[in-house]
Amino acid sequence: MGDSESESEAPKVKLRPIVRLGMFLISHSHLLSVVCCTAGVLTLLLLPLLAKNTYISENALMPGSANPMLSSQEVSEANGLVKDLTNLDLKPMASGIESQRLIAQYMSNLGAEVSFQKFYPQSNQFHPLHFFSSPDSATIRENISCSSFGLNTVGIIRAPRGDGKEAIVLVTPYNSEKIGLGEALSLGIAYSVFSLLTRVTWLAKDIIWVVADSKYGEYAAVDAWLRDYYIPVFSGLGTQYAEMCHGLEENTITERNMRDGFKRAGTMAAALVIKVVDRSEQFEDSLSIYAEASNGQMPNLDLINIVNYLAVHRQGLRIKVEKMWSLLNCKWLMILGEILESLGHLAKSLNPQWKFGIPAADYVEGTATLASSLYYQALGIPTGPHGAFRDYQVDAITLEISSRVSSNNKGRQNDFLLRGGRLIEGVIRSVNNLLEKFHQSFFLYLLTSPSKFLSVGVYMIAFALLVASLPMVAASLYAHANNLDPSFEKNKSNHPASAANELGITLRSWKWLYAAKKVLVVHLWGAVVLLLPYFICQIPNCTPTTSFVVWVLLSIFSLLILFWILGSPFYYVNASQPQQREWALLKSVTISAAFIGLCLMSVINFATAEIGALLMVPMCLMAHPLKLDVKSRKLRKFSRVACNLALGFIGFPPTAFLVFKGVFEGFDGISVSDFWNWLESIWAWSSATYLYIGMIHLPCWILCIHVILHPC
Amino acid sequence: MAHLPRRTHSILLILSFQICFSTIFAVFGSVFQEEFSEELLLKPLPDRKVLAHFHFETTAPPLSTSHGRHHHLFPKAIAQLVQKFHVKEMELSFTQGRWNYDRWGGFDPISSSNAKPPGVELWAVFDVPKDQVDASWKNLTHTLSGLFCASINFLESSTTYSAHEWGFHPSSGGLRYGTLPREAVCTENLTPWLKLLPCRDKAGLSALLDRPSIYRGFYHSQRLHLTSSEFHSSSVESGIVLEQALTVVLQPNSHKTSKTFSSETKLQPSWSLSSIFGRKVTGRCVLAKTSNVYLQLERGLVTELENLQKDNTITGPDHVGSGGLKDNPGFELSVRPDKMYKEVNSLHRKSSSVLYEYSIERYSVFEPFDLGLTWKFPVVWSCPRAPLHSSRFLMGSGNQRGTIAISFISTDLEEGFLSANIGEESCKLQADIFQVVPWYIKVYYHTLRVFVDGQPEAITNVVEKMHVSPSEDKVSPGVMELVLKFPCAVKSAALTLEFDKGFLHIDEYPPDANQGFDIPSAVIIFPNFQTSMHYLEDNSSNKSPMLSKFQEKSPVLSYTEVLLVPLTTPDFSMPYNVITITCTVFALYFGSLLNVLRRRVGEEERILKNSASKKAGRLPQLLSRLSAKLRGKEWEPPQSPSTSSSFISSKLLLKVLIVAGVAVFWQYYSE
């Protein structure tokens, strides 16, 4: 206010520096937005260079400080279990419950407390009303038949001198109907550790071994157990069904354990899911770590660090994290890596202390890992049964050990069990040492290799640079549209502002409300589109393609209806105001909405926001009415038209998905039904990405297309 | 002159008391003698472990009848403590590990009086006016903390202890109860405890207490129980009775040879005193009146052994055991017992437990006592369990709210047992719950819900009596006492209580990000079920204190688990961030405030008007010159002569260049 007064009196008055800075930014927004965007993309590409080596942050963990106690004796016991299980599988008469009974027998022979947990498979259904709510126990189970149930076997070792307040969980999923060698081996590893832990004296936390019946999926079994652990139902359907379906078991031990009920052991400190897969093409045993839980939540980095440290430095296992394999053969990435490497060499020759160059191969690998890390976090779907634990704030990871063990090579199998068992023992011992909960290391990070990570402070830069241009451009567009541009002001600063002009300015300055209304309506439409699949799912016998088509048609229909009802806001202000202002204002409000949406999303799931920003920011910034560009026949304008069309094409979520899928997996056999399936999986896991696509991305895309096709 | 009659009166009373209860006092003719007795009970447990229960009892006669404040055997520290704080009754226990109610028994005197929650538990009854109880408690905690090298003094704050009406221990108001679940128990607590014994651990049974072997066990609980009738309010003067008990559950070293995982049952590990303690008894404590070792065989075990014996008599008739189980087929004892007691079976159970007594008076250093038990046949038995197995757990996740749930599951009690206790019709199973919850767990007592056999039940149907004192922030914990009556046929029952997690004040947090906060164990009492073991003895005059303790009728009592509640914890490891942010905010605030305060707008404008006509700033000048050059036009200098300022700027530029050059030079040649 003081500024405007002083302007009218003394035009040459120096403004406050912050205002001057803002004016400078707004007036140079074109240049700055281009610089920011390219810098953002470049930083993203540079992230593998900036990754730091992981380190054990919590000193109390002390991984590998004790010699492994697991000996060949436990391994031979475990071999017995593996043999019994595989024999059981060969028998034709083996029923589902037989294997659980065998495992329970083995557990109780060790002196552990054994209990069974019966659960019924739950269909993953889309419930629009409790999308973000915590896992609900009271979900109605409609079609339960007594024959279809899973049976988890749970063994608990009570720490001899512990107070029983905390517990460490071991999970081995296996299919009780058909036990493969890999599953039997994973049970063997867990059993060898379990039998060791019944005898050790250092145990301070209880150990829970959950043998999850993965007949209906690994995640479902673990989730059912956790639900019973945290949100048990004391009354109602669950117990009724349990009684109804009783009478299947005649064995006394089973009977008694089932009746004795669910056994518990304190707060969970950490959980390890152990899986063994047969990969005969591997030359050596390797270990894959899966850590992504729902909505891109990660376990504490220290947990991964311990596993990594013990696997590499103690057991000599090769450790892997998920990669985008198709990126490894990328030519341009290789070239970029080489350029960065030579730059690093150059920097090193200038000053030996500047060490930022990494070999090109490492760079490519790091980029591939980073891309997959980003993708899986952005997807918001847990990559394994460990995801169920994260819903209850328990740090958990899945360890997938791939072996070359064949059933006839006894020595190799022993060696494999010994190494796997020692690794698990070491991890458990480390977690057991922990006095506090995991808090020391990072929770927000991206992995570029098993031993390199990017913390939130680093990867935030790329996103911040990308997003920073949005408010600037929005402000400059607004200023242009209202003739409030400081440059204009400077030019005609001499002539005094009349009263009429003043009124015009105030009228014009409120004009953005029309645009805001339009943006709001489109965002509301996005919410409607989000809810449509719930109704489409009710249609029986629908192939993914037809349901997708139905969805698209319904969406368009609802968009039309919305405009019809709300008095076609697109053409509301046409008569009174010049068109040029109108599209600029619309673009400005769209960009602001996109900015707010992206920032909100970055809090919920950073990776989604990052990928979304990569797609959306250029589209939003470039959007310009085609009519204006076509009128003036210049090469620059035509290139802009081309850019707009390309970005508009890529920005549409289905096309974006299909294009990326095609690029990474090959274009053959791609159909629109893939997108529907993908989306279905996202909402079934109630991922925030689904909300992002519907509430932010799609409306912004529609608005950008509207700006491009604006009639001016 | 009123002293004499009163004294005789009291003596009479004591005598009558003695006759009635045949207590420990009738010994060497004199009533007014300090006495000490040491006993050890060994018991094989069903899960291949051995229970050892040391019981030491020291008694002091009432002050009025003894030699003033001088004691022969009784620890002076305890006597002074009783005198000073007017303690009527007190119990202090240090426990490590958890008692396994399913496998080690929940229905015998040992489990209901010696199974304690992990950490420290202290309760005391004071014989002082009501307004002085809290002060006495505070002083007592500090004294005990000094005596036992433990942080019992944390019980001083009113947030940690509670006074309750009737839930846990029947008393008349002067009772205070507190627990410290987090207290670590180690040998530094045991040593002062042993110092209270007249022979310490130098002689007698306490010499068995080899620290490494007893702390290697699965359960370790040292207990100190004190009753005194020093003060006027009680009519019976029995002096001070100090009862010290140490209960350990040990795993005998089983040789790993018999590790077969077949379905057949394994042989129980054989053990001896020297193998589980690493020491032998080398004679009694000469100051002790009685010094005995007992071996107890549980009912279930005795039944199994009898069955085994029957089978053997069928196959081989030469093993007809006449002397009970003395030469039974199941196991073999290395030392022949001096006496054997059989439990007097009041409830008409199938069999009763058996107790072997060894008097160690005749053993010495040269002939140490080393009781050994060798199993000959695999025996599987189960121990008596409490009528309901109770467990407590937390429900829900997250940092905001949760639910405490207590669940009861009925154990395998014989049908006749229940009906024998209570009448057939309207059979009710009573369970009392006493629970103390710290104030930062804000329990909503109105959300109490009860489920019986999977069906929600109206609270009034189940809850007979209820006493709740809600917690007060930073002042007192919440206490809940409940009397529940379940139908006898109950299979399972559950209680849920919702709570919110409170916020602590910054100085109430532990110094580092912690694992969570504890909710102390709840106490579950089954008042309808009494534990008492009455052993038939030949001469009732020479009764051992431990057996008379067993004989006392006390309700079945069990403790639930300690719970860990994660509370929202600020990250204290980064105070730096806070300092930085605060400083920035302060700087911004004061900077702008000062700016506003000392700004004179009119003056500034006048100066600006003057200077605007004269010259522009240096930087814009440079910039305009640069832009002019870029545009390829002649730069036109401003009207006013500005040589001085441009001179300064070029000088400055020169300086900067020189400094940069020096820096580059230094960078290259320093390496």
CATH of the domain at B438: 2.60.40.740
| pLDDT class of A454 with cuts at 50, 70, 90 | very high
- The alpha-carbon gap from B47 to the nearest alpha carbon of chain A, in Å, equals 8
What Rg, from alpha-carbon coordinates, does chain B have?
38
Q: Residue A258: closest CA among chain B residues belongs to which residue?
A: B409
Dihedral, CA of residue B374, residue B377, residue B380 and residue B384, to nearest 10: -50
One domain, residues B243 and B284: no
| Residue spans of beta strands (DSSP E) within B69-141 | 87-96, 119-126
* Residue A354 covered by a domain: no
**Could you tell me if residue A314 is inside a domain?**
yes
Q: Which residue of B has its CA nearest to A239?
A: B454
Domain match, A462 and A423 both: no
Is B546:B55 a contact under the CB 8 Å cutoff? yes
- Among A80, A234, A393, the residue with its CB nearest the CB of B398 is A393
Residues A390 and A536 in one domain: no
User: Of the residues A395, A424, A450, which one is the last residue of a structural domain?
Assistant: A450
Least confident of A3-17, A600-614, B297-311: A3-17
Number of domains in chain A: 2
Q: Which residues contact B634 (CB under 8 A, 6 or more apart)?
A: B628
- Kindly state whether residues B459 and B499 are assigned to the same domain: yes
Q: How far apart are CA A42 and CA A367, in angstroms?
A: 13
Pair A444, A469 in one domain: no
SS3 B168: coil
Judge: A6–B605 Cβ closer than 8 Å, yes or no. Answer: yes
Please check whether residue B451 touches A, CB under 8 A. yes
Same domain, B444 and B373: no
B82 in a domain, yes or no?
yes
Beta-carbon separation of A261 and B395 below 8 A:
no
Enumerate residue ranges in chain B where pLDDT < 50: 1-6, 8, 12-30, 234-235, 256-264, 316-324, 414-424, 640-644
pLDDT value of position A306: 92
Would you tell me which residues 406-445 of chain B have a C-beta closer than 8 angstroms to some C-beta of chain A? 407, 409
pLDDT at position A498: 53
Range of lowest pLDDT (A166-170, A466-470, B372-376): B372-376
Q: Which domain holds residue B468?
A: 388-413+426-504+515-565
How many CA atoms within 13 Å lie on the side-chain side of A36? Answer: 24
A498 min Cα distance to partner chain B (Å): 23
The alpha carbon of residue A589 is apart from the nearest alpha carbon of chain B, in Å, by 31
Q: CA nearest B397 in A: which residue? A: A392
Single residue among B565, B590, B606 that ends a domain in this structure: B565
Which of A14, A164, A267 lies closest to B566 in CB terms? A267
State the best of B393, B411, B451 to mutate against chain A, taking most chain A CBs within 10 Å.
B393
- Same domain? For A44 and A92 the reply is no
Cβ–Cβ < 8 Å for B153, B145:
yes
Helix H or strand E encompassing A318:
strand A318-321
Please identify which residue in the block is written with the tokens 């004591």. Answer: B14
Domain count, chain B: 3
B47 domain residue, yes or no: no
CB contact under 8 A, A6 and B455: no
Statement: residue A569 has pLDDT above 60: no
Tokens of B466: 């209820």
CB-based contact A392 B397, cutoff 8 Å: yes
Inside any domain, residue A8: no
**Residue A428: predicted pLDDT:** 94
Q: Find chain A residues with C-beta within 8 A of B97's C-beta.
A: 160-163
Integer Cα distance of B156 and B158 in angstroms: 6
Strand partners, B375: B331
A436 and B515 within 8 Å at the Cβ level: the answer is: yes
* Sheet strands (E) in A343-422: 395-403
**Would the CB atoms of A111 and B47 count as touching at under 8 Å?**
yes
Interface contact flag, B451 A234, Cβ < 8 Å: yes
Residues of chain B with C-beta less than 8 angstroms from the C-beta of A232: 395, 405
Q: What is the pLDDT of residue B166?
A: 66
**Amino acid identity for residue B599 in this structure:** R
- The overall average pLDDT reported for chain A is 81
Answer whether B60's CB lies under 8 Å from B76's CB.
Answer: no
- Residue B45 located in a structural domain: no
Angle at B19 between CA B17 and CA B23, to 5 degrees: 70
- Pair (A127, A213) in one structural domain: yes
Q: How far apart are the CA of A10 and the nearest CA of chain B, in angstroms?
A: 7
Write the residue in B397, B573, B612 that is nearest to A393 by C-beta. B397
Among candidates A109, A240, A439 on the partner chain, residue whose Cβ is nearest the Cβ of B513: A439
Of residues A164, A234, A243, nearest to B494 (C-beta)? A234
Comparing alpha-carbon positions, the chain B residue that sits nearest to A158 is B98
What is the arithmetic mean of pLDDT over A577-592? 79
Mark whether B401 and B544 lie in a shared domain: yes
B23 three-class SS: coil
Are A14 and B119 inside 8 Å of each other by CB? Answer: no
Q: What is the Cα–Cα distance from B118 to B562, expressed in whole angstroms?
A: 8
**Listed residues A415, A431, A450: the one ending a domain:** A450
Give the burial class of B462: count Cβ atoms within 10 A of its Cβ; 0-12 exposed, 13-18 middle, 19 or more buried: buried
- Is B13 inside any structural domain? no
Cα distances (angstroms) measured from residue B29 to each of B25, B33, B547: 9, 9, 22
Query: Which positions in chain B touch A109 (Cβ < 8 Å)?
Result: 261
Any domain includes B135 = yes
Q: Do residues B495 and B461 lie in contact, with contact meaning Cβ atoms separated by under 8 Å?
A: no
Do B396 and B363 share a structural domain?
no
**DSSP-assigned letter for residue B369:** B
Residue A332 belongs to some domain of the structure = no
Q: What is the pLDDT of residues B158-210, one digit of tens each?
A: 888 888 766 566 666 788 899 998 888 888 999 999 999 998 888 889 999 98
Residues 6+ apart with CB under 8 A from B414: B349
Write the CA distances from A106 to A153, B30, B218, B664, integer angstroms.
11, 61, 22, 73
Closest CA to B521 of B634, B343, B392: B392
Q: Is position B591 within any domain? A: no
For residue A14, the model assigns a pLDDT of 66
**Residues A462 and A44: beta-carbon distance below 8 Å:** yes
d(CA B60, CA B55): 17
Do B397 and A437 make contact, defined as CB atoms within 8 angstroms?
Answer: no
Determine the structural domain holding residue A220 and report its residue range: 59-322+383-450
CA–chain centroid gap for A388, Å, is 14
B90 and B204 assigned to the same domain: yes
Beta carbons of B456 and A235 less than 8 Å apart = yes
Please check whether residue B615 touches A, CB under 8 A.
no
In a domain, A409, yes or no: yes
| Integer Cα distance of B483 and B572 in angstroms | 43
Residue B270 touches partner A, C-beta closer than 8 Å: no
Q: Do B513 and A261 touch (CB under 8 A)?
A: no
Q: In the block, which residue shows the tokens 């990969």? A: A279
Say if residue B365 is in the same domain as residue B393.
no
Mean pLDDT of A653-665: 85
Whether residue A303 is contained in a domain is answered as yes
B395 and A230: CB-CB below 8 Å? yes
**The model's pTM:** 0.84
Mean pLDDT comparison of A235-249, A250-264, A651-665, B592-606, highest-scoring range:
A651-665
Residues A65 and A38 in one domain: no
The pLDDT value given to residue B238: 66
DSSP state of A596: H
Instruction: List pLDDT tens digits, range B643-653.
Output: 445 556 788 88
Q: Do A165 and B562 touch (CB under 8 A)?
A: yes
Q: What is the pLDDT of residues A409-435, one digit of tens each?
A: 788 888 889 989 999 999 999 999 988
Contact A234 B496 (CB under 8 A): yes
Is the same domain home to A444 and A463?
no
SS3 A504: helix
Residue A330 lies in a domain: no
List C-alpha distances in Å: A407 to A173, A412, A483, A660: 20, 9, 80, 41
d(CA B325, CA B276): 24
CA of A237 vs chain B CAs: smallest distance (Å): 10
Q: Are residues A258 and A313 in the same domain?
A: yes
pLDDT at B257: 42
Is there a single domain that holds both residue A514 and residue A589? yes
Interface of B with A in 27-86 (CB under 8 A): 47-48
Name which of A383, A371, A385, A393 is nearest A446 in CA terms.
Answer: A371
Query: What are the phi and psi torsion angles at A277 (to 5°)?
Result: -120, 150
Nearest residue on chain A to B411, judged by CA atoms?
Answer: A260
What's the rounded Cα separation, in Å, for the pair B98 and B218?
A: 8
pLDDT recorded at residue B322? 39
pLDDT at residue A16 is higher than 80: no
Give the pLDDT confidence score for residue A119 in this predicted structure. Answer: 83
Question: Rounded to the nearest 5 degrees, what angle is found at the Cα of A615, between the Cα atoms of A614 and A620?
Answer: 105
Q: Is residue B449 assigned to a domain?
A: yes
Please check whether residue A386 is in contact with residue A291, taking contact to mean a CB–CB distance below 8 angstroms.
Answer: yes
Contact B41, B247 (CB under 8 A): no
Which of residues A403 and B633 earns the better pLDDT score? A403
CB A305 within 8 A of CB A397: no
| Residue A234's CATH number | 3.40.630.10
**B348 shares its domain with B409:** no
Q: How far is B180 from chain A (nearest CA, A)?
A: 12
The CA distance from B221 to B223, in Å, is: 6
Which of A161, A231, A244, A442 to probe by mutation at the B interface, max B CB count within 10 Å? A161
Residue B240 counted as domain residue: yes
Contacts of B389 in chain A (CB under 8 A): 260
Both B236 and B104 in one domain: the answer is: yes
Q: Residue B316: what pLDDT?
A: 45
Report the gap between the CA of A139 and the closest CA in chain B (Å): 16
Same domain for B247 and B220 = yes
Residues from chain A that touch B95, judged by Cβ atoms under 8 A, are none
Q: With a threshold of 0.85, tell me whether the complex ipTM lies above it.
A: no
**Secondary element (H or E) of residue B389:** strand B388-395
In terms of CA atoms, which chain A residue is nearest residue B403? A231
- B306 shares a domain with B233: no
**Residue A375 included in any domain:** no
A286-290 and A318-321 as β-strands: parallel, antiparallel, unpaired?
Answer: parallel
In this structure, the answer to whether residues B301 and B221 fall within a common structural domain is no
Asked whether the beta carbons of residue B612 and residue A161 sit closer than 8 angstroms, the reply is: no
Q: Within this chain, do residues A539 and A629 fall inside the same structural domain, yes or no?
A: yes
Pick B97's closest partner by Cβ from A80, A105, A160: A160
Q: How far apart are CA A222 and CA A153, in angstroms?
A: 11
CA distance B562 to chain A (A): 6
Provide the 10 A C-beta neighbour count for residue B345: 14
A501 shares its domain with A388? no
- In sequence order, the 6+-apart residues with CB closer than 8 A to the CB of A504 are none
> 3-state SS of chain A: helix, strand, coil percent to 5?
60, 10, 30
Residues of B with CB below 8 A from A294's CB?
none
For B106, half-sphere exposure in the C-beta direction (CA atoms, 13 angstrom radius) is 23
Residues of B in contact with A243 (CB under 8 A): 454
Query: Which of A228-242, A625-639, B207-221, B493-507 has the least mean pLDDT?
Result: A228-242
Q: Nearest CA of chain A to the CA of B2: how many Å?
A: 56
Burial of B143 (0-12, 13-18, 19+ CB in 10 A): middle
Which tokens in the block code for residue A23? Answer: 């004016």
Same domain, A399 and A533: no
